[in-house]
Amino acid sequence: MIKSVRGGRLFIALQVMGAVIIPVLATTAAYAEELPAIFKKVQELAEQKNYAGAMKELSWAQQELEKLHQQRLTEILPAEVDGFKGEKPEVQSAMGFTTLEREYSKGEQRITFSISGGTGNEAMAGLAGFAKMGAMMGGLQPGVDKVRLGSLTATLDTTDSPEMTVFLDSGSVVTLKTGDGVDGAALKKFAEGLKLTELDSYLKGSKA
């Protein structure tokens, strides 16, 4: 029996916090533990020639892998770039296609990072390739320049609020949009501070 109401409320609050925090911390471990069991089930069903059941189990594995993929993307992105602090990323994945958006802020200045694409997505890689080819052919409007970020190619549009588009070799496309107070030079410096090469390497299937 809890004699102190205040103490009782504190105890209940700690219970609630524990109920919320512990599952969050255990999420990644749970995914890692579930995958071997799923693949074992797939193998058993395949040995029984129950291929329909095996494919159904594989769809569950894909869902778990997509969750891990989302988490890995958020881990690669820096929490802070050139004084801009990142907010919680928003990630959506479906059918191997992933869209991630993260807003960075420094005082009143804001830069929105977004990436669209997927691992092993040949259709998206083709579309990104056409977009990159168009940029490289020089068919750019006044106020739009081609820039290099290491081995990557990007376009920088300064006709209005500066906006940069980076074409990753993996086929994904990164977009950086700004608000007031961030000019083209500052946006390029911010882009150079992102781990885009590491991100691109991961999306190409290399170890990151």
**Could you tell me the pLDDT band of residue 15, with boundaries at 50, 70 and 90?**
very low
Q: Which helix (H) or strand (E) holds 148?
A: strand 144-149
Residue pair 47/38 in contact (Cβ under 8 Å)? The answer is no
Output the six-digit token pair for 100: 């991630």
CA distances in angstroms from 182 to 71, 149, 178, listed in the order given: 29, 18, 6
Average pLDDT of the chain to the nearest whole number: 77
The Cα 7–Cα 42 span in angstroms is 50
Global pTM reads 0.69
Residue pair 170/152 in contact (Cβ under 8 Å)? The answer is no
Handedness of CA 152, 163, 171, 199 (dihedral sign): positive
Q: Measured in whole angstroms, how far is the alpha carbon of residue 19 from the centre of its chain?
A: 27
Domains of the chain: 5-70 (no CATH), 79-203 (3.40.1000.70)
Least confident of 30-44, 56-70, 185-199: 30-44
Q: Annotate 155-171 with three-state secondary structure.
A: EEECCCCCEEEEECCCC
pLDDT tens digits along 114-152: 998 865 545 455 555 555 555 555 446 778 889 989 889
Question: Does 204 have pLDDT greater than 60?
Answer: yes
- Residue-level pLDDT at 48: 95
Output the six-digit token pair for 102: 């993260």
Least confident of 46-50, 54-58, 132-136, 171-175: 132-136
